[in-house]
Amino acid sequence: MSSPSSPAFRLLLDLHTGVPVYRQIIDQVRGAIASGTLSAGDQLPTVRQLAVDLAINPNTVVRAYRELELGGLLETHQGTGTFIGTQKIPRAVAERARQLNQIVADVVARAGAAGFTVQDLIEQLREMVSEPPRRR
């Protein structure tokens, strides 16, 4: 098991988006897993530490961690901490396609509302893909 989360992965909240804080935590952890910034066995900050770091209520962190754990992305080991899960969650091909379509539609809508074009998104995605994954 790894040491607590490295400086490469840092949760940042935006209190002006209207997205609930617990949802932002969930989305950022999922994004870090997808990008390779976090991988199986990596340790996340404790509930208390993350709440202090983000200046939020610990119950908000508990809610986010619990949802991630129920989804199979996190494993909590009493006394040692919370870790990125080692199991891959199989999903039906149709469900994965539906989820990806929804994610893309959401991103395009949010980007459009912020004044970005689909081409801007494509360029940003290409930049992200060309960067090597951040590992410890």
User: SS3 string of the chain?
Assistant: CCCECCCCCCCCCCCCCCCCHHHHHHHHHHHHHHHCCCCCCCEECCHHHHHHHHCCCHHHHHHHHHHHHHCCCEEEECCCEEEECCCCCCCCHHHHHHHHHHHHHHHHHHHHHCCCCHHHHHHHHHHHHHCCCCCC
Q: Average pLDDT, stretch 12-22?
A: 88
- The model's confidence at residue 15, banded by pLDDT at 50, 70 and 90, is confident
Q: What is the pLDDT of residues 51-105, one digit of tens each?
A: 999 999 999 999 999 999 998 899 998 889 999 998 665 556 677 777 888 888 8
- Predicted confidence at residue 88, as pLDDT, reads 64
Domains of the chain (ranges, CATH numbers): 21-84 (1.10.10.10), 93-130 (no CATH)
This prediction's pTM: 0.64
Q: What is the pLDDT of residues 114-127, one digit of tens each?
A: 999 999 999 998 88
